[in-house]
Amino acid sequence: MLELRPVCENCNKALPPNSREARICSYECTYCGSCVDGVLGNVCPNCGGGFVPRPIRPAKNWKGDHCLIKDPASSKVRHRPVDPEAHAQFAARIRSIPPEQR
Ligand SMILES: [Zn+2]
Ligand SMILES: [Zn+2]
């Protein structure tokens, strides 16, 4: 199940489970949209993959107990800010490779 992490791992901004700003990579590394578009350049600093908007998990039990009441968001903060210069070099190298060849 997708881990709904509570904050942007770069800037520590709160990203509650209903946030439209949350972005995730395929490993669930979680950042806010402004960090993804700005300092990260849509390259995950942990794995080199790209980001998509994190889906909003339903707050209400619309069907089959698949909701936040049964499966709450994580409270484990992972705040590990990137070094902007080092990441810019890493991201430039990744972006020079076609996505399907990364
Ligand atoms: Zn952020
Ligand atoms: Zn990642």
At 42-89, the pLDDT tens digits run 999 999 999 999 999 999 999 999 999 999 999 999 999 999 999 999
Question: What pLDDT, on a 0 to 100 scale, did the predictor assign at position 92?
Answer: 97
Are the CB atoms for 6 and 77 separated by under 8 Å? yes
For residues 65-102, b (16+ Cβ closer than 10 Å) or e, as one string? eeebeeeebeeeebeeebeeeebeebbeebeeeeeeee
Q: What is the mean pLDDT of the chain?
A: 97
Task: Kindly give, in sequence order, each residue whose CB lies less than 8 Å from that of residue 85, ignoring residues fewer than 6 positions away.
Answer: none
pLDDT value, residue 25: 98
pLDDT value of position 96: 96
- What is the per-residue pLDDT for 94? 97
How close is the Cα of 97 to the center of ligand 1, in Å? 25
Q: Output the CA 67–ligand 2 centroid distance in Å.
A: 25
Residue-level pLDDT at 63: 97
Distance 62 CA to ligand 2 centre (A): 31
Is there a contact between 99 and 43 (Cβ–Cβ < 8 Å)?
Answer: no
Residue 23 CA to ligand 2 centre (angstroms):
11
